[in-house]
Amino acid sequence: MKQCSQNYYGNCWQNGSGHLGVSYDPATWQPVSEYSCATQVDVEEAITAARYAFDSGTWPHQPRLRAEILYEFAERLQARMQEIEPWLVQLNGKLIKEARGEIGAAISELKYYAGLTRNLWGRVAEIDDGCYSMIAREGAGVVGIIVPWNAPVTLLIRSLAPALAAGCTVVIKVAHQTSLVHQMVLECLTQIGTLPKNIVCSFIEENADLSKLMCEHPLIDVISFTGSSRTGKKIAAAASGTLKRLSLELGGKAPAIVLPDVNIESAVNQLVAGALPMAGQQCTAIARILVENSRFEEVTQRLVSALSAIKVGPGADPVSQMGPLIDIVNRDRIVKLIDTAKSQVKVHLEGRVPSGVLSKGAFVTPTLVEVEDLNSPFIQDEIFGPFVVIERFNSYAEAIERANATRFGLAASVWGENSELARKLSSKLKSGTVWLNCHNRLFAEAETGGYRESGYGRLHGLQGLDDFMSTKHLYWEDH
């Protein structure tokens, strides 16, 4: 293993003061690369440097420079796309097309926020004769970004791009599983000659101690986190002592409501695709399929057929339709859930660990279970894997009641030919995003975020800047 990912602070890439860790290919569970863990001393140095750069530098006052750097970041990432793509596949396990789509989305995000950077307008109002109020928009300060492993490029850039556009400086906590991909992406920024010193710092850790330090640190103004609701609650608790701003996109349990007039032949393949991105390891993935009773048996049979036909294999294999989970621990966790389901609910399709060479990796085939009890953990808990629940409903009111019956509210979809009915139902869903006759359509221009325990704040779009900006009122009188 010649590749070793490092930490970035002091304007250079360097080994952390901690131990070396090993990253594995989830498709083979063979070691691929190493990473150098940071310590508290490293992180304190990074935070202090980012604080000084924000307070003493000109970065917050140079929107044109920020725009130019974001554009160049996008161009450099585009130039290295073919180099980064296979590493993303190998370290994360996702399919080639998923890796390509993820990097492409990050490039789009950078260009979008580069365009917004020079349009951060405030306003001025004459309150009375000679009395003026000016509302200014400015960077919120130092941002701590905590990046997960499931989409390490997109989920980095969708926080980093608006933070930099707003004029903030940034300290990033990297997921160790995909830290080499992170370094390759961030090099596209750090190698830009016009980037001022210490605008961006980055560190690697295996547990959450340094993340907790960052959340508690008085020199950090904003935390942007994507991950589980359980971890989000810990972050909120850790940040409460300093009342720092939080942008949290947390867990999901996305329902897909299938109406009786649905075109099943068209919908089923899309439902399967919506349920299995990154082997189901996506917070917006379809986790529950709610079907009107008159079409239930037909939809179930077609789903079993479609899910059974999914070709599981390494992400680098162009014929693979679903890659592995992130590691063996999560594979075994899903297998245990499947075993539990067999004694508690009706199992229409039982997932299994493939035989042969794939048995050495973190592979498990899709599962489909039928659940009636809304209190079942298969409905209430985020599973984060290729494990899909199917449910019956007899009326539109029941469909909405069931769809809203969890503590999550990140994403949902409605499927049917009657677009007016679909839109009406969508307005009753407690979800930050609702798609009609499609799922997982995500792009830079449209805000996403959660209701309830799926978090707060918004990423992407114009509102994606809000979590990284402060509003200042300046008043003066001319007499």
State residue 387 phi and psi, 5-degree precision. Answer: -130, 110
The residues, any chain, with a CB within 8 Å of residue 69's CB and separated by 6 or more, are: 164, 189, 192, 194, 195
DSSP, res 459: B
Q: Which residue has the tokens 């693979």?
A: 320
In the annotation, is 131 catalytic?
no
The amino acid sitting at 25 is: D
- Alpha-carbon gap, residue 346 to 348, rounded angstroms: 6
Helices (H), 143-196: 154-166, 179-190
* Partner residues linked to 201 by β-bridges: 171
> What is the end-to-end Cα distance of the chain in Å, rounded?
72
Helix, strand or coil for residue 425? helix
Give me the count of residues in the chain.
479
The residues, any chain, with a CB within 8 Å of residue 352's CB and separated by 6 or more, are: 335, 338, 364, 365
Nearest to 42 by CA among 204, 156, 230: 204
DSSP, res 284: T
Q: How far is CA 40 from CA 35, 206, 242, in A?
A: 16, 13, 19
CB 253 within 8 A of CB 228: no
Q: Which of 45, 102, 249, 453 is catalytic?
A: 249
The residues, any chain, with a CB within 8 Å of residue 97's CB and separated by 6 or more, are: none
Which helix (H) or strand (E) segment holds residue 397: the answer is: helix 396-403
Q: Which of 102, 205, 283, 382 is catalytic?
A: 283
In the annotation, is 283 catalytic?
yes
- Alpha-carbon gap, residue 109 to 459, rounded angstroms: 11
Burial of 451 from C-beta contacts in 10 A (0-12 / 13-18 / 19+): middle
Please list the active-site residues.
249, 283
